[in-house]
A and B are shown apart, each in its own frame.
Chain A
Amino acid sequence: MSAAQTQSRSVLAGIADDPLLEISGLVVETGPARRPIELLRSIELAIPKGARVGVVGESGSGKSMTASAILGVLPNGVRARAGTIRFDGRDLMTLPEREMRRIRGGEISLVSQNAVASLNPLMTVGAQIAKVCREHTGVSKQEAWTRTVELLDALGIPEPDVRARSYPHHFSGGMAQRVAIAMALICSPQLVIADEPTTGLDATIQAQVLEVIDGSVKASGAALLLISHDLAVIRAMCDIVAVVYAGSLLEYGPADEVLNRPLSPYTQGLIRCMDPPEGEIAFIPGRIPEPGTLGAGCPFAERCDRATDACRAQQPALRQLRPDHWVSCHHE
């Protein structure tokens, strides 16, 4: 812990005077302690107050693991070994479980990918939202219920007082996602983490759900951490973009900067895939390396057409090359 504490500020800390959330040097690993497999390799992230940060990366890049680490709900057998997660002046890594529990759902909340599956099938959705509300605010049962119905109404659920008494399996994907958003907002958190909130929804429903997230998060004044593999979703929703690859942060900066003038060859590849030149199906050759197979070099070197011996030998440090725009690449 001591090594981590000496460098507890992220290089990204300069993005704002006092970021709401700041992750620095976070290492998350699994497997036996003697031969650990690193899932997050000293990842960095900063979320200014009220900002919308999009984390983009392929599946397996560690996006969701970062979300779990922030909330302190890593899966069994996975542990955070080093690093700090500063949130609103506290280090979440060293916070006792009781206080951490108050933060979960109260100050930081989660909208997960499969909304129906993320709700307890045996309880009405209203009861579940009200339960989270009571757990963190201690209001009366009746008050919690009133707030729940009001919020469902505000999120565009028709007949909210009837729907609150329905069970999760009665909801369509889009409606269930609204319920999940209501649960995430009921305690007025400072940070909402949305982990692939629209993956698996129809395109039209996807747009509606994004609009609900957009409007409700704006209205609540919370910051948003939007995790997605879909660059188009990130582009539509976020003002800051973080590009992660194989457990490392490769690029971080303002959305129009990163998306229009990307510095990392990986980001450039992702953008080409989203928006390929006429008559071309763009892809990045190769696949994301399995956790635990990476050496000391740049994690993307294997798939990068500009990779040199230097790239393969040493992982480049995050450097601020433009205002508020960081990249981890030897070439820039």
Chain B
Amino acid sequence: MRRGFWLRYLGRRLLAAVLALFGVAVIVFVVTRLLGDPVELILGQRATPEQAAQLRAELGYDDPLPQQFVRYIGDLVQGDLGVSNYTQRPVTDEIADRFPATLELALAGMLLGLLWTIPLGVIAAQRPGGWVDRVSRAVAEFGLAIPNFFFGLLLILLFAYALGWAPAPVGELDIGASPPPRVTGMVVVDALLAGDLPTFWSALKYLALPAITLAVTSCPPILALTRTSMITALRSDYVRSARAFGLPPRTVRWYALKNSLVPVLTMSAMTFGFLVGNTVLVESVFSWPGMGLYSVQSMQRFDYAPVLGVVLLGSAIYILVYLLADLISMAIDPRVREGQT
């Protein structure tokens, strides 16, 4: 494929992404304005109408909605997500504080999730109905059925309290430990960047249980899909013919795996988007200083600016991850590539 093709494709996708984000901004803006009045919540019920009106004017909530919207979008394109009514801090700062922790957790959960589901799905597909297949399906069903916060609590009970292999769930690091110099905001990565191995190991231990929780409870669909598409691939004509032409088993398996990867990629992208947006319960259980609690609290407080910021960020991540999955699919499969021209 020529470079022009990829640039054109990327340009088109990014334009579509901007439009989609704009749409999200419109929807969230309208929905939050419909939900309730933040002024009452900020002032409490005993405030006089005059005080309320004054605050409303200060915050700009008595302007007509279109005007508020134009102001909001104008700020947005300059990278300004507004100020939280509750904490009086810029939303971008608050998100920058919390998002890396969530991203770190979601990435670790995803990585672990891919590491157990894809190989297991591939092995299970070699002998459908065999013992690997049955055991892996039981594990997957368990992971799907159990609520993630409950599984997290079980892990804490077992590994932190009963066995003592993992630290108590107090966040990303020992209480009182000094975090490594902030570069990415992800403690594990920053510790590694600073060359601080003891902190790195310690952070890894804190990361382990919540990441395992996410990996076990969110990734079973990837296992199921890997298994089915691998079974289909192994039964296909091209695999039979590759064997009939004397290609080594390794090559034959690789043919099948590569062919079953495209749907698995899309499913993984979906799972990752889900992980980023649904960590709130797991974060609560493990006292993880991420976005989960922040976004829920902002919604409860009708704190418009953070809610909009969180939703926009979540959407942007979804769009980005999907784009990445599509790019990899296109690199693998010429038919997907040609569907785009």
Please report A residues at the B interface, Cβ cutoff 8 Å: 68, 71, 73, 75, 101-106, 109-110, 112, 114, 117-122, 131-132, 135-136, 167, 169, 183
Contact = CB atoms under 8 A, between A and B. Distances in A.
Q: Is the interface of B mostly helix, strand, loop or mixed?
A: helix
B247 A131 contact: yes
B332 interface: yes
A117 B241 CA distance: 9
A122 B241 CA distance: 14
Given A121-B259, A121-B335, A169-B335, A104 B246 contact: yes
13 contacts: A73-B244, A75-B240, A103-B246, A105-B247, A112-B241, A117-B236, A118-B238, A119-B238, A119-B241, A121-B238, A121-B335, A122-B258, A135-B246
A169 B243 CA distance: 21
A53 B9 CA distance: 53
Given A114-B237, A169-B335, A120 B246 contact: no
Contacts of A132: 245-247
Given A120-B255, A120-B259, A169-B335, A135 B248 contact: yes
Nearest to B333: A122
A121 B332 CA distance: 10
Contacts of A167: 334-335
Contacts of B193: none
A136 B244 CA distance: 13
B242 interface: yes
B333 A183 contact: no
A132 to B, nearest CB: 5
Contacts of A112: 237, 240-241, 244
Contacts of A110: 241, 244-245
Interface in B141-180: none
Interface in B312-341: 332-335
Given A119-B238, A121-B259, A71 B244 contact: yes
A112 B241 CA distance: 8
A73 B240 contact: yes
Given A104-B243, A118-B238, A119-B241, 5 more contacts: A117-B238, A120-B238, A122-B333, A122-B334, A169-B335
Contacts of A120: 238, 242, 255, 259
Contact of B244 (A104, A121, A122): A104
Nearest to A132: B245
Contacts of A169: 334-335
B246 A121 contact: no
B86 to A, nearest CB: 53
A117 B237 CA distance: 6
A242 B332 CA distance: 44
Contacts of A106: 246
Nearest to A97: B249
Interface residues of B, number: 20
Contacts of B242: 120
Tell which of A68, A75, A104 has the most Cβ of chain B within 10 Å: A104
Contacts of B237: 112, 114, 117-118
B263 to A, nearest CB: 14
A190 B80 CA distance: 74
A131 B333 CA distance: 19
Tell which of B238, B251, B332 has the most Cβ of chain A within 10 Å: B238
Given A118-B237, A122-B332, A104 B245 contact: yes
Contacts of A135: 245-248
A73 B255 contact: no
A136 B246 contact: yes
Nearest to B234: A76
A107 to B, nearest CB: 9
Nearest to B242: A120
A131 B245 CA distance: 10
Contacts of B241: 110, 112, 118-119
A102 B247 CA distance: 9
A95 B243 CA distance: 16
A105 B252 CA distance: 14
Contacts of B246: 101-106, 132, 135-136
A311 B238 CA distance: 42
Interface in B105-132: none
Nearest to B240: A73
Contacts of B245: 104-105, 109-110, 132, 135, 183
Contacts of A119: 238, 241
Interface string B219-256: 00000000000000000111011111111100100010
Nearest to A186: B245
B238 to A, nearest CB: 5
B327 to A, nearest CB: 16
Contacts of A105: 244-247
Nearest to B127: A76
Q: What are the 10 A-B residue pairs with the smallest beta carbon separation, nearest first?
A: A105-B245, A104-B246, A105-B246, A117-B237, A118-B241, A118-B237, A101-B246, A110-B244, A167-B334, A120-B238
A121 to B, nearest CB: 7
B243 A73 contact: yes
A103 B243 CA distance: 11
A287 B6 CA distance: 56
Contacts of A136: 246
A167 to B, nearest CB: 5
Tell which of B236, B247, B255 has the most Cβ of chain A within 10 Å: B247
